[in-house]
């Protein structure tokens, strides 16, 4: 499968936190081609193992490297069903209403998927109403928002829609948009890093003798909410070091630009990454022919920083694909995905 087709399939799949099966199934189809073993753990993470070899034979390794990209996307969850059948929703992950806009959504009921429209109300309301004032100023909050379903409460209950039901951007709006040397779409976070990790797995499968340790590839659940999947993986897999593969924001304050050059994250809101791991990622990017963008992302977090701050593993790092409009209609360079994969392969095969 071509990289473009794989990315499009991943973008079309829906992956609200805790309900990532559509994305996981596509990843599993690809990952099992390259790994010695694959499985889904109790947290819903997809795990693949590539064993390193010595003299052509698999080697027994007690401490591997945990390479992670997350399956979930920003979404919404139902808070309340109103008398008219509309839904009050709140964010699932780091999202504001502006990240989605007024748009079609899929309501993932237990028995039936229902279409809906995310609504901010009339743009012609005045400042006499709270919602009107917020819409007019562009300061829209989740309590200003509702989902129009055109169904009764009884119909919604029959469909299995209840508080906690996931609401995701409709597949109607998930088709990627080509932009010269880039691609734009919702949910490149974290579908672009997923492709990079799968590409790295393909390359590593043919270079087992060069690996410095076993590689555990984890496609994790619930990153946008609690990092629960990554924490579970770190506590249950025999690994020493965790590397999160992410999208990285483009901002003047961070000195980052939309280019192929990967972002090596020095630290984020949960703390600084391990200096030796970051240095090795920088060296790997340079050896691969790129000029790494080292950044301190103070409004950012990853599975790896959650693992490090919780003390689940002793070492962690983060590499990110430069991305415009993070958590919105995101833009990444096609070469940015390749550069990330090449850097990961170099990092995992470099002798230190």
The tokens describing 105, both together, are: 């959504």
> 221 by DSSP, 3-state: which?
coil
Over the stretch 221-254, which tens digit does the pLDDT of each residue have? 999 999 999 999 999 999 999 999 999 999 999 9
Q: What is the pTM of this model?
A: 0.95
If pLDDT is split at 50, 70 and 90, which confidence band does 3 have?
confident
Q: What angle do CA 57, 63, 69 make, to 5 degrees?
A: 100
Check if the beta carbon of residue 145 is closer than 8 Å to that of residue 89.
yes
Domain map (residue ranges) of the chain: 3-73+187-349, 75-173
Homologous superfamily of the 3-73+187-349 domain (CATH) = Zn peptidases (3.40.630.10)
How far is Cα 331 from Cα 187, in angstroms, rounded to an integer? 10
Q: At what angle do helices 3-12 and 21-31 cross, to 10 degrees?
A: 160
How far is Cα 216 from Cα 43, in angstroms, rounded to an integer? 15
Check if the beta carbon of residue 18 is closer than 8 Å to that of residue 75.
no
State which fold the 75-173 domain adopts. Answer: Elongation Factor Tu (Ef-tu); domain 3 (2.40.30)
Cβ-based neighbours of 14, under 8 Å, separated by 6 or more: 22, 23, 73, 106, 108, 168, 169, 171
Question: Residue 84 to residues 3, 156, 308: CA-CA distances in angstroms?
Answer: 44, 11, 46
Give, as one character, the DSSP assignment of residue 272: E
For the CA atoms of 254, 347, 314, 244, the dihedral, rounded to the nearest 10 degrees, stands at 50
Where does 159-244 have alpha helices with state H?
188-205, 228-236
Give, as one character, the DSSP assignment of residue 300: -
Residue that has been written with the tokens 């950012």 in this structure? 300
Average pLDDT (47-58) is 79
End-to-end Cα spacing for the chain: 34
How far is Cα 24 from Cα 211, in angstroms, rounded to an integer? 26
**Lowest mean pLDDT: which of 40-44, 62-66, 169-173?**
62-66
Q: Which has more confidence, 53 or 278?
A: 278
Over the stretch 290-335, which tens digit does the pLDDT of each residue have? 999 999 999 999 999 999 999 999 999 999 999 999 999 999 999 9
Q: What angle do CA 317, 320, 322 make, to 5 degrees?
A: 155
- Mark 64-99 as b/e (b = at least 16 C-beta within 10 Å): bbbbbbbbbbbbbbbeebeeebbbbbebbbebebeb
How far is Cα 109 from Cα 104, in angstroms, rounded to an integer? 16
For the sheet with 182-186, list strands across it.
177-179, 182-186, 329-333
- Identical fold for domains 3-73+187-349 and 75-173, yes or no, is no
The tokens describing 86, both together, are: 């509309």
What pLDDT sits at residue 319? 98
Residue that has been written with the tokens 């819409």 in this structure? 135
Check if the beta carbon of residue 66 is closer than 8 Å to that of residue 218.
yes
Over the stretch 117-160, which tens digit does the pLDDT of each residue have? 999 887 777 666 666 666 666 688 899 899 999 999 999 999 99
Residue that has been written with the tokens 């962690």 in this structure? 316
Over the stretch 8-31, which tens digit does the pLDDT of each residue have? 999 999 999 999 999 999 999 999
């Amino acid at each position: 499968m071509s990289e473009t087709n794989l990315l499009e399939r991943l973008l079309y799949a829906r992956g609200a936190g805790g309900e990532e099966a559509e994305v996981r199934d596509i990843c599993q189809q690809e990952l099992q081609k390259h790994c010695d073993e694959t499985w889904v753990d109790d947290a819903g993470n997809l795990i693949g193992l590539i064993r390193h070899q010595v003299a052509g034979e698999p080697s027994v390794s007690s401490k591997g490297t945990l390479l992670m990209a997350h399956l979930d996307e920003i979404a919404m969850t139902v808070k309340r069903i109103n008398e008219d059948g509309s839904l009050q929703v709140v964010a699932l992950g780091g999202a504001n209403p502006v990240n989605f806009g007024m748009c079609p959504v899929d309501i993932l009921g237990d028995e039936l998927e229902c279409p809906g429209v995310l609504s901010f109300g009339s743009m012609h309301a005045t400042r006499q109403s709270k919602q009107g004032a917020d819409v007019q100023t562009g300061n829209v909050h989740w309590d200003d928002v509702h989902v129009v379903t055109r169904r009764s409460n009884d119909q919604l209950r029959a469909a299995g829609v209840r508080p906690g039901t996931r609401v995701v951007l409709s597949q109607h709006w998930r088709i990627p948009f080509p932009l010269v040397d880039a691609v734009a779409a919702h949910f490149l976070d974290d579908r672009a890093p997923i492709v990079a990790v799968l590409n790295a797995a393909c390359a590593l499968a043919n270079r087992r003798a060069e690996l410095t340790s076993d590689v555990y590839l984890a496609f994790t659940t619930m990153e946008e909410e609690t990092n629960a999947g990554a924490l579970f993986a770190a506590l249950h897999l025999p690994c020493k070091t965790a590397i999160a593969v992410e999208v990285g924001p483009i901002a003047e304050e961070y000195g980052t630009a939309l280019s192929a050059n990967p972002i090596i994250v020095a630290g984020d809101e949960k703390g600084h990454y391990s200096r030796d791991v970051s240095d090795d990622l920088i060296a790997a990017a340079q050896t691969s022919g790129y000029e790494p963008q080292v950044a301190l992302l103070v409004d950012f977090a990853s599975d790896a920083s959650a693992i490090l701050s919780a003390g689940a593993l002793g070492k962690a790092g983060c590499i990110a694909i430069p991305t415009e409009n993070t958590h919105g209609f995101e833009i990444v360079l096609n070469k940015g995905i390749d550069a990330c994969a090449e850097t990961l392969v170099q990092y995992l095969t470099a002798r230190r």
